[in-house]
Amino acid sequence: MIKALKGMKDILPPQNEKFTHFLENASQIAQKYGYEFIETPILEETLLYKRGVGDSSDIVGKEMYEFIDKGGNEISLRPEGTAGVVRSFIEAKYDRVGGIYRFFYHGPMFRYERPQKGRFRQFHQFGCESFGTKSGYEDANIIKLLKEILDSFHLNYTLKLNTLGCPKCITPYKEILQKELHKIDELCSDCQRRRDTNPIRVFDCKNSHCQELLKEVPRLNQHLCDECESDFSELLNLLDLSDITYEIDPNLVRGLDYYTKTAFEFISGDLGSQNAIAGGGRYDKLVELMGGKPTPAIGFAIGIERILELITLPKRERGGYYFGALDDSAMQKLFIEAGKKRALGERVIQSYDAKSLKAHLKTADKINARYCAILGEDEIKNNKLWIKDLENKKEFTQEMG
């Protein structure tokens, strides 16, 4: 038997209903904040991610589904959505036109990670990206938007916040950090590699011995430039004004290299070790790095599978019609009547097996239909459908068209 690939799974009932419900809700909330739908290809040039997400990140260094296509091109399945949206933004020349652009997207992402609970090789994200404003109000609004989506599903979470500075402060800080890290000789092999490629990533190490060793190492918040310091306190002030509670976490460095200034994650207490339900931040240098005109930007992505684990849908109400025939001679007429009902906007599921009234009522109940409509010899003679309302148990007849 052929099975789905390791770390990839089907979205079947009842998860399918939660999945579409989540997307509808999240899209509606994003539109309320001025975001428009965007769709970009799942395959892109590998170079896009090497340059955008960063060669030194685990995502690009270890986890990409990378291959050569039949034309000899180096391409990759997208590990995340931001780089593709940035590529599209520049290709459409929005950076040259100027102004503010806000996009939302959803779709599958691919990372060749070790699968475990909440961590898949194909998973789905819902993301928002805003281009063209460096205002702190946009940072506050995008966090409010993300929070509104999570709150609409009554989720419990902690919002973790940090600032990752700008080239003016992060570049000298990284040199200081690198020197400090060279003084520690018991770091794990991953941290030793990070020390030389992107030292701030050491703070993300899950190894408790490394965390202990890093306790005394200076954090970026002690080395911020004046602009980054005041931008961060402006954001905290706007969040306070909005009654949004947060935890400042100087260890929050994110796993992608493009971030500047604001970085945030929403962490759930109800999941296992894979507890990040959403993450994002500013990436003011990325458009320029990808060859566009300098354009400030900020965004986030939600991991949909992790949300599906946490939400329960209200009991589905009965809906639509079930159409059943008592004998084969009524089947064609039933088929025509079902079509007419659908043309009126109703959901109709027709049974193709003639059977007793009792058997039809049982099936209609099983599929949670509101109405069970029956056609037999007598009904055809009277040109009327017999209908039972399964909600309030009332029976009636209805003229056929």
Taking the least distance from each CB to ligand HAM, the nearer of 281 and 376 is 281
* Residue 277 in the binding site for ligand HAM (CB under 6 A): yes
Stretch that binds ligand HAM, among 20-28, 154-162, 300-308, 322-330 (CB under 6 A): 300-308
Taking the least distance from each CB to ligand HAM, the nearer of 73 and 156 is 156
Residue 292 amino acid letter? G
Taking the least distance from each CB to ligand HAM, the nearer of 119 and 219 is 119
* Residue 253 in the binding site for ligand HAM (CB under 6 A): no
* Residue 61 in the binding site for ligand HAM (CB under 6 A): no
The SS3 of residue 247 is strand
Taking the least distance from each CB to ligand HAM, the nearer of 113 and 180 is 113
Given the DSSP bridges, would you call strands 260-267 and 276-282 parallel, antiparallel or unpaired?
A: antiparallel
* Residue 255 in the binding site for ligand HAM (CB under 6 A): yes
Please check whether residue 53 is in contact with residue 257, taking contact to mean a CB–CB distance below 8 angstroms.
yes
> How far apart, in whole angstroms, are the C-alpha atoms of residue 87 and residue 90?
5
Given the DSSP bridges, would you call strands 371-375 and 321-325 parallel, antiparallel or unpaired?
A: parallel
Q: What is the dihedral of CA 53, 58, 62, 68, to 10 degrees?
A: 0
Name the one residue in this structure whose structure tokens are 């200081």.
176
> Shortest Cβ distance from residue 63 to ligand HAM (Å)?
8
Please check whether residue 331 is in contact with residue 354, taking contact to mean a CB–CB distance below 8 angstroms.
yes
> How far apart, in whole angstroms, are the C-alpha atoms of residue 288 and residue 281?
17
Its sign, for the CA torsion 73, 76, 82, 88, is positive
According to CB under 6 A, which one of 306, 341, 370, 388 is a site residue for ligand HAM? 306
Site for ligand HAM (CB under 6 A): how many residues?
25
Neighbours of 160 (CB within 10 A): 18
Task: Give the H/E segment covering residue 300.
Answer: strand 297-303
Window 71 to 130, contacts with ligand HAM (CB under 6 A)? 80-82, 111, 113, 119-120, 123, 125, 127, 129
* Residue 375 in the binding site for ligand HAM (CB under 6 A): no
According to CB under 6 A, which one of 22, 131, 173, 300 is a site residue for ligand HAM? 300
> Shortest Cβ distance from residue 243 to ligand HAM (Å)?
24
* Residue 278 in the binding site for ligand HAM (CB under 6 A): yes
> Shortest Cβ distance from residue 282 to ligand HAM (Å)?
8
* Residue 292 in the binding site for ligand HAM (CB under 6 A): no
* Residue 57 in the binding site for ligand HAM (CB under 6 A): no
Given the DSSP bridges, would you call strands 394-399 and 384-389 parallel, antiparallel or unpaired?
A: antiparallel
> Shortest Cβ distance from residue 119 to ligand HAM (Å)?
4
> Shortest Cβ distance from residue 130 to ligand HAM (Å)?
9
* Residue 280 in the binding site for ligand HAM (CB under 6 A): yes
> Shortest Cβ distance from residue 138 to ligand HAM (Å)?
13
The strand order across the sheet containing 384-389 reads: 348-350, 321-325, 371-375, 384-389, 394-399
Residue number, nearest CB to ligand HAM: 303
Stretch that binds ligand HAM, among 168-176, 213-221, 276-284, 390-398 (CB under 6 A): 276-284
The DSSP-derived string for 5-32 is PTT-----TTHHHHHHHHHHHHHHHHHH
Q: Where are the beta strands (DSSP E) in 98-176?
A: 101-110, 122-131, 158-163
Q: Which residues bind ligand HAM (CB under 6 A)?
A: 80-82, 111, 113, 119-120, 123, 125, 127, 129, 255-256, 276-281, 299-301, 303, 305-306
